[in-house]
Amino acid sequence: MVARRGSGRVVLGIDADAITGFHDACLAGRGGTPAGEAVWEWIAENHRRNTMLWREEDRARRTDVPDAVIVQCKRNIDQHNQRRNDAVEAIDDCIQARLEAIEPDPDVRLSSETAGAMIDRLSILALKIHHMRLQTLREDAGDEHVARCRVKLERLVQQRLDLAACLDRLLIEARRGKTCFRTFRQFKMYNDPALNPELYGRRRGGSGAEQGEARVDVLVPTCDRPAALAVTLTALFAQNLGPARIVVSDQGETIEAASAPEVAAVLRLLRTRGIEVEVHRHLPRRGLAEQRAFLLGQSRAPYVLFLDDDVVLEPDLLARLANTLRTEGCGFVGSAVIGLSYLDDVRPHQQAIEFWDGPVEPEEVLPGSPQWERHHLHSAANLYHVQQRLGLTATCQRLYRVAWIGGCVLFDAEKLRAVGGFEFWQDLPDQHCGEDVLAQLRVMARYGGCGVIPSGAYHQELPTTVPVRKVDAPLVLDVAGQ
């Protein structure tokens, strides 16, 4: 559906009746995201988050549970509220993209409330109407309670009708160039580890074990690819998370990574920024599982990012991953690497994606299972095509279910160690593959794991340094680790 320039001729694909009907259908268990317009994905996401917020707010009022339960409720509320606001901004971005075709009147009126904010309020009103209606049907409540709730229900219904009319008027006038609105960016500072002083302040001035401890250790295995490693390290220099610690395990047999001029230059650059960098010569080669076990043994931070030496990261990715892992409390979160040489290779049959609609939870994924087929999403540039189609951005990311993620995975170090880390290397021959997959499957089964979209990680698309792949760790070892 193409927007055409001209007053009133842009098709937005939404109106208040369709939106309120969708909200009610979801609450009645008949929900299904309407097809055809990307904006509906975000309307659905916003309503999901509001629904989950409602449930968590109810739970948080309990007085018969341990304090730890209420603390977790608060963390869940923060997470859902952040994503609810992200969805509001994404709704407005989708609508604004269509309205760009409109020539505004010279005296166009700027609306202080956006369409996304009104849709968010309609979602909340739908929840209030739904739950107030349930109160009018209670058989365990007195007549007076039911009567009061009926009065409130009538008022809520009228409020929604009024707001729906206002939304339709805003959309109609915006299509005619009479009224405009701009996406209102929330910039939630308390959820950003680079902006919340309680988070970045602890890194600088913590006590005891926190003193001098980096929040994230970036662990990079490398072998005879100094140019690729230099590019990867340069991308780490650009990360906006703040000081981190980088540990490189070098198993190169033709050249020492640290002595390569391009690597040495970047190492100096990283250190001028106060980033601690260690490069270990780790030979002989006994397989990638052993190399990863060695790297994990060098780490001190609560989070560890296993990053391949041929991956380029967008500047905000490390902060996004760390923020997601902290708020979700799961075992790992990763960014699947995208091969941009495949931009013209569109594969709809490999682009199925399963979003997490609630908190990330433990999930058992076994080789050959239906869940195993999720790995196709990470082939070629499939993930890029999906994120473009859905209009996802770094400020409006979503989490999705994975089989595994290669190249860029942030673990909760304690949880990774709790399932044995990579100590299974001793049960594998030196020539093997799939060691990262096996570790993720074990962590995911106990603690949960997820991927973030948009990814923000890109493959340099170099030949593999592990050409012999006859022994695949998750196929020859017990996924459960027993």
User: For position 62, what pLDDT does the model report?
Assistant: 87
10 part of a folded domain: no
CA atoms of 244 and 237, how far apart (whole Å): 10
- Domain identity same for 42 and 159: yes
Number of C-beta neighbours around residue 346 at 10 A: 14
- Domain identity same for 164 and 259: no
- Domain identity same for 264 and 154: no
User: For position 36, what pLDDT does the model report?
Assistant: 63
Nearest to 387 by CA among 309, 458, 318, 329: 458
- Domain identity same for 320 and 227: yes
- The pTM for the full model equals 0.64
Positions of the chain with pLDDT lower than 70, given as ranges: 1-10, 31-33, 35-36, 188, 190-196, 198-214, 241-243, 481-482
- Domain identity same for 138 and 224: no
- Domain identity same for 44 and 151: yes
- Domain identity same for 37 and 176: yes
CA atoms of 230 and 310, how far apart (whole Å): 9
User: For position 5, what pLDDT does the model report?
Assistant: 43
Q: Provide the domain limits for residue 111.
A: 16-180
2 part of a folded domain: no
**pLDDT tens-digit profile of 53-72?**
999 899 888 888 888 778 87
Following DSSP, what letter does each residue of 155-204 receive, concatenated? HHHHHHHHHHHHHHHHHHHHHTTSEE--------STT-TTT-HHHHHHHH
- Domain identity same for 355 and 286: yes
198 part of a folded domain: no
7 part of a folded domain: no
